[in-house]
A and B are shown apart, each in its own frame.
Chain A
Amino acid sequence: GQSLEQPSEVTAVEGAIVQINCTYQTSGFYGLSWYQQHDGGAPTFLSYNALDGLEETGRFSSFLSRSDSYGYLLLQELQMKDSASYFCAVRRTGGSYIPTFGRGTSLIVHP
């Protein structure tokens, strides 16, 4: 099966940079995704890394190291609206394209 580990909570101040780590164990790796979910809302897709390196999308970047089974989400110029839960996910093995999600990291941004 798959397992993903991410911190349960991270706090930071507005304007700062924060990194949310994710380590995974899976037999057969097809990529790491990140989702954002505001309290009581729907998760929304942020990024997908299939290859090693950094992918940048505005203030958000996602990094992957397949040799280390590790990735992270980097949020720059933090804003209050970035307070949310962030989930990493890997695709399940067995030929389907269904993700397995981590337990999520609650990011709290203080003024």
Chain B
Amino acid sequence: DGGITQSPKYLFRKEGQNVTLSCEQNLNHDAMYWYRQDPGQGLRLIYYSQIVNDFQKGDIAEGYSVSREKKESFPLTVTSAQKNPTAFYLCASSIAGTGITHEQYFGPGTRLTVT
């Protein structure tokens, strides 16, 4: 079955440590995205990539980094520079380019807790 996987589902880290969240898709989608979700805040865009080896900052990129070396993979690193990293992180993918619809397919999310 095609879909998006994120691992781990729950992640705990100490303050000051970098942590990398995994996102893999086998939908053959060109575009991939990372969102952060906090209670009452909706989904806020961190980074996105519309093609391999290229990515762009979203609305809240500070303290995060990404890479897109393979079409199916888009890992997110939460660095120690992120002031408030505890959140629910969602990865998504979509058909990029001139698609009529911008339907996004989401992974199950990773809940990160930093203490």
Question: A residues bordering B, Cβ < 8 Å?
Answer: 8, 30-31, 33, 35, 40-45, 48, 50, 87, 91, 96-104
Contacts and interface: CB of A to CB of B under 8 A. Distances in A.
Contacts of A104: 40, 42
A102 B42 contact: yes
Given A97-B96, A98-B33, A98-B45, A42 B103 contact: no
A43 to B, nearest CB: 5
Contacts of B109: 40-42
Contacts of A30: 102
Q: Identify which of B43, B106, B111 gathers the most chain A CB atoms within 10 Å of its CB.
A: B43
Interface in B77-113: 90, 92, 94, 96-97, 99-109, 111
Nearest to B111: A40
A97 B61 CA distance: 18
B100 A50 contact: yes
Given A87-B43, A102-B42, 5 more contacts: A41-B108, A45-B103, A87-B42, A99-B104, A103-B42
A41 B37 CA distance: 11
B41 interface: yes
B44 to A, nearest CB: 8
B48 interface: yes
B102 A31 contact: yes
A97 B33 CA distance: 11
Given A42-B90, A43-B90, A98-B48, A33 B103 contact: yes
